A and B are shown apart, each in its own frame.
Chain A
Amino acid sequence: MMTLVAKGLSVSARLAGQTVTVLRDLDFAIEPGKILGLVGESGAGKSMIGRVLARSLPSGFVVSGGSLAFSAADGKVRDLVAMDGADLARLLGDRIAFIPQEPLTALNPLLTVRAQFDEHLARLGVPAGDRIARMIDALTQVRLSAPQSLVERYPFQLSGGMCQRVLIAMAFASNPALVVADEPTTALDVSTQATIVQIMRGLQRDHATAMLFITHDLRLAARVCDEIAVLYAGEVVERGPARIISQDPQHPYTRALQAANPPLRGPLTRLVTLPDQMPGLSALASLQGCRFAPRCPTRDASCETASPELRLVAPGHWVCCAPACSGSRPAVPPITRRSAEASGSEPILVVDTVAKHYPGKRDWMGRRGQGVDAVKAASLSVRPGEFVGIVGESGSGKSTLAKLIMGLEAPTAGRILIDGHDVTAPSSATRSIRLGTLQMVFQDPQSALNPRRPVERLVTQTMEAARSGASDAERLARATALLAETGLPPELINRYPAQLSGGQKQRVNIARALCVTPRLLVADEIVSGLDVSVQAQILNLLLDLRTERGIGLVFISHDLAVVRYLCTRMLVMHQGVVVEEGETDAIFARPQHPYTRALLAAAPPDELDSPWPPAPVQETLDATA
């Protein structure tokens, strides 16, 4: 008996007068005690399925066909699409539970954990006397220590990981038949992610719950799920056992996803990227034939007219691709990482034991509250053409360090030197030294690009500031050159940020930093908001910039695989302190500091045979969290 069976599920939306099929003919099934992973990049429609279940589709979106047969322990089969709204409401939260993406926003900040959990249990019909015991029991199951005192706390007093554990405990409190987890670990740090996944899997196995695990991360899904369905532009392009989908995918898109992920171990090859990006809702309407065809490396003429059907290629393994498709893998280009290093030359940037202390706010008596030491003691040096990675989890002080380097904040101790000039204190003189040497690429292009400037005036912003006053013709010429260099089509020159895709915005962001031909870029988490395939494009662009311009890079990231792909040297930061520094390969091979070891162990490895997350490491992480 399957817990959830989707048959021909379709969702359509009315968009500017025409009907767009957002989800097309989805078929999947989940058995009790199994986890089905829905994997796809943003815009694939993976979150739409959770919304269909909860009947919270955005207005204008309707289920245009198909059924969702749900059967709970009582053996009755109900169609979640057709059934009465009130009946469905009784199922939701009880037989069907949800684990949200943002644990902090999912809990009411004005109520204690106890009040919220109590309300949930009351709804489930647990008698008032039993509720606190049930609560403590549930919180113990998610391995929260001292649950008696924890229930009296407010959500904002807990970390993101703790909030997510509370929500998992609440989801499993009713012993549901189905749990829908929508990106449950995306907002969390790597080490927390490992714990959460372990807890979720444990509870799901113990209760024999069926689970729908929605994620963008194929590597994580391979670890967590029994079966995986890969979504592209609202269609299941490939479905099968997790092991096969992650190790030997057949669909060209799944292969591209796999190839776009930089590996954590083994030899490095240049990432293979797909052109462009997934079509948006408005583009779907005019798309004929296979929705993946425009980006497919192995397409032929027939792909652009005929839509393929899911077909069985092996027991339990379906692929939605033309039968004629040979599926030949593109030849992997040779290793291009770590080109010639300008070793021995003088460093461009030297950061000498800088610290940043943020004083606490004064109270009404004028007394200072306790401040925060964002960076305690950090040193680094970067030579021309060198890529240095800074790795750390949220709160490790890595973004503050970037601001100190850029002179956006003044350090409270230590020195910063550029080409031997002291630029520690921000002033107009140090600003002009920085301007020609150092530029920053910001994390969130949404916030870093003024929405009121067209691309041309964004990328040449520095020329507007220069006293010399460049002419409009000069600016246009420079902007054209910068677009070409960052791989942007020239017709974007008059567009505004709102008209660009995420990857294009990040390229504009990089182009702006390159305008003054800096010798060193500081990049703060510039790929963390991007889809894997777009991330790979940006990473390759950075590598090309080094080859062509000999540019240096300080690359701040939480993602170890990305740092390994790009950087020759890396620093590991933990609570404002650089705990380890060295050659990337050496650190990956022989991590010295326990925190580095924990961090490396927490990232899901590529080989499915190595156990993850390893139990002993777990304890160290709990201690540091």
Chain B
Amino acid sequence: MRLSPRAKAAWRRCLTNPRVVTGGVIIGLMAVVAVLAPWLAPHDPQEQDLLATLLPPMWLAGGEARFPFGTDTLGRCIASRLMYGARIALYVAVVAATGAMILGTLLAIVAAYFGGWVDWLISRAIEVWMAFPPVVLALILLVGMGAGVNKVILAIIVIDWTRFCRVIRSEALVVMVRDYIAAAKLAGFSHRQIMLKEMLPAVLPLVITMMSIEMGIAVIVEAIMSFVGLSVEPDVPAWGVMIADARQTMHQAPWGVVLPVGAIFLAVLAFNLLGDGLRRALDTRLVLGRAEAA
């Protein structure tokens, strides 16, 4: 694929940004672990060893090398469960963020392009939507739809499209006043062509940045929902489920809680670092500001 010099420069800025690199490497490693979990995990995540319950991690006194991160109340391997849990977390992060991005960006571009009552309607919908507390809204939606990981994804999309829509609409409005949109109209472009070929590429850097941040949010939401039992089935290993299971014994075996919390923390940190780094590398205003100073 031939990249424009602008895209090449943006790509170079991304690759030299320490935040992008750090976040990207962490997420990349997590993705590898998640994909290869059946081969990497020392045990089946549901395999119980009732003779070895609440074992501490192997580097602590009483730990065993068979269970590198120890075991939970049912003697299940925490390391294996964390690896399988990463699959759920990343699945939700990617699918939910993509869904919210598509819905939000689509409505944002339509609102900015057509303006008038279309814009009015979409903007008011965002305002009403954002007035609801998101966690409460998510709980209501899940109670209404029933539990399940795909329902969680749907809830995140339905709630968080506004986040994309609001920010990208204002960026799209800036693009709309550029003369090249008028030039495309005069060239006989259809509405769809203008929106897809002229406006979407212009807002894409912002979309990518917001996607990354949204993935971090999706990881947290999924953890909360599986903690309260509204996400995955109880027998599926997810980080939220692990925290919920380990909380009764957290005084005797704190690692049961600390390790999944650490996993969530690391994932969210990585997504946020990546998002922040991408914003710095791709935001034309920040980039131009630096170039002018130089």
**In the complex, B235 has a CB within 8 A of chain A:** no
Contact A466/B188 with A450-B198, A452-B202 known, Cβ cut-off 8 Å: yes
Binary contact track B160-201/A, C-beta < 8 Å → 1, others 0: 000000000000000000111011111111100100011001
Q: Contacts A58-B293, A466-B188 given; indicate if A499 touches B5 (C-beta within 8 A).
A: yes
Find out whether the CB atom of A431 lies under 8 angstroms from the CB atom of B179: no
Interface centre among A435, A447, A449 (most CB of B within 10 A): A447
Q: How far is the CA of A462 from the CA of B187 in the complex (A)?
A: 5
Tell me whether B202 and A461 are in contact (CB under 8 A). no
Bound-state Cα–Cα, A448 to B197, Å: 15
Is there an interface contact between B185 and A435, defined as CB atoms closer than 8 Å?
no
Bound CA span A58–B289, Å: 12
- CB neighbours (8 Å) of A408 from chain B are 182, 185-186
Closest to A450 in B: B180
Do residues B180 and A447 form an inter-chain contact, with CB atoms below 8 A? yes
The CA of A465 and the CA of B189, in the complex, are separated in Å by 5
Q: Which chain A residue has the least Cβ–Cβ distance from B178?
A: A447
Q: Within the complex, what minimum Cβ distance (angstroms) separates B10 from chain A?
A: 11
Nearest-Cβ distance from residue A421 to partner chain B, whole angstroms: 17
User: What is the minimal beta-carbon distance from A448 to any residue of chain B, in angstroms?
Assistant: 4
Q: Using an 8 Å CB-CB cutoff, how does the interface string of A485-502 with B read, 1 for contact, 0 for none? A: 000000000001011000
Shortest Cβ distance from A440 into B: residue? B186
Q: A466-B188, A498-B6 are in contact. Are A58 and B294 (CB under 8 A)?
A: yes
A439 touches B178 (CB 8 A): no
CA distance A60 to B293 in the complex (A): 9
Separation in Å of the A312 CB from the closest CB of chain B? 40
Chain A residues within an 8 Å CB radius of B294: 58-60
Assess whether A443 is interfacial by the CB under 8 Å rule.
yes
Q: Is B252 an interface residue (CB 8 A)?
A: no
- Give the residues in chain B near A464, CB-CB below 8 Å: 187, 189, 193, 197
Interface residues of A in 454-478 (CB under 8 A from B): 454, 461-462, 464-466
Q: With A58-B293, A59-B294, A496-B6 given, is the CB distance from A443 to B189 under 8 Å?
A: no
Q: Which of B179, B198, B202 contacts A442 (CB 8 A)?
A: B179
Q: In whole angstroms, how far apart are the Cα atoms of A58 and B186 in the complex?
A: 40
Across the interface, which residues of A come within 8 angstroms of B180, CB to CB?
447-450
Chain A residues near B178: list those with CB within 8 A: 447-448
Residues of B contacting A: mostly: helix
A123 to chain B, nearest CB (A): 27
> Please, how many residues of chain A have a CB less than 8 angstroms from a CB on the other chain?
30
A130 and B5 CA atoms in complex are apart in Å by 59
Q: How far is the CA of A431 from the CA of B193 in the complex (A)?
A: 16
Instruction: Please report the C-alpha to C-alpha distance between residue A59 and residue B290 in the assembled complex, in whole angstroms.
Output: 11
CB-CB contacts below 8 Å: A386-443 with B: 406, 408, 431-432, 434-435, 439-440, 442-443
The answer to whether A496 and B5 touch across the interface, beta carbons within 8 angstroms, is yes
Instruction: Select which of A432, A444, A466 is within 8 A of B179 by beta carbon.
Output: A444
CB of A574 within 8 A of chain B?
Answer: no
Hey, which chain B residues are within 8 Å of A431, CB to CB? 188
Chain A residues within 8 Å of B5, by CB:
496, 498-499
- Asked if B4 and A452 make an inter-chain contact with CB atoms under 8 angstroms apart, the answer reads yes
Contact B189 A448 (CB under 8 A): no
| A239 is an interface residue with CB less than 8 A from chain B | no
A291 at interface by CB-CB < 8 Å: no
Q: In the docked arrangement, what's the CA distance between A451 and B182, Å?
A: 15
- What residues on B are CB-neighbors of A406 within 8 Å? 182, 186
Known A-B contacts A431-B188, A432-B188, A450-B198; the reply to A496 vs B183 at CB < 8 A is no
Q: Considering the chains assembled together, what is the distance between the CA atoms of A451 and B293 in angstroms?
A: 22
Given contact pairs A60-B294, A442-B182, A451 touches B6 in the complex (Cβ within 8 A): yes
Residue of A59, A435, A447, A448 near B188 (CB, 8 A) is: A435
Instruction: Report if A251 contacts B (CB, 8 A).
Output: no
Given the complex of chains A and B, what is the CA–CA distance between A408 and B184 in angstroms? 11
- Does any Cβ of B come within 8 Å of A546's Cβ? no
Interface residues in A609-624 by Cβ distance below 8 A to B read none
Residues of the B chain whose Cβ atoms lie less than 8 Å from the Cβ of A440: 182-183, 186
State in angstroms the CA–CA spacing of A503 and B286 once bound together: 27
Collect the chain B residues with CB atoms within 8 Å of residue A434's CB.
186
* A507 within 8 Å of B (CB atoms): no
Which of B180, B186, B202, B292 has most chain A Cβ within 10 Å?
B186
* B186 pairs with A496, CB closer than 8 A: no
CB pair A461–B179 under 8 Å, yes or no, is: no
Complex: how many Å from CA A463 to CA B190?
Answer: 13
Closest residue of A by beta carbon distance from B197: A464
In the assembled complex, how far is the CB of residue B271 from the closest CB belonging to chain A, in whole angstroms? 27
Q: Which residues of B contact A439 (CB under 8 A)?
A: 186
Q: How far is the CA of A444 from the CA of B177 in the complex (A)?
A: 12
Interface hits, B66-115 → A, CB 8 Å:
none
- How far, in Å, is A354 (CB) from chain B's closest CB? 18
Q: Quick check: A462 and B293 within 8 Å, CB to CB?
A: no
- Most chain A CB atoms below 10 A, which of B179, B185, B293, B294: B179
What residues on B are CB-neighbors of A499 within 8 Å?
5
Q: List 9 A-B pairs, Cβ < 8 Å.
A: A58-B292, A58-B294, A59-B293, A442-B182, A444-B179, A454-B4, A461-B184, A465-B184, A498-B5
10 nearest CB pairs, A to B: A448-B179, A465-B188, A442-B179, A462-B187, A450-B180, A447-B179, A461-B187, A465-B189, A447-B178, A435-B188
List the interface of chain B (C-beta within 8 A of A).
4-7, 178-180, 182-190, 193, 197-198, 201-202, 292-294
* 6 other A-B residue contacts (CB within 8 Å) besides A408-B186, A499-B5: A447-B180, A448-B178, A450-B180, A465-B184, A496-B4, A496-B5
A positions within 8 Å CB-CB of B: 58-60, 406, 408, 431-432, 434-435, 439-440, 442-444, 447-452, 454, 461-462, 464-466, 496, 498-499, 512
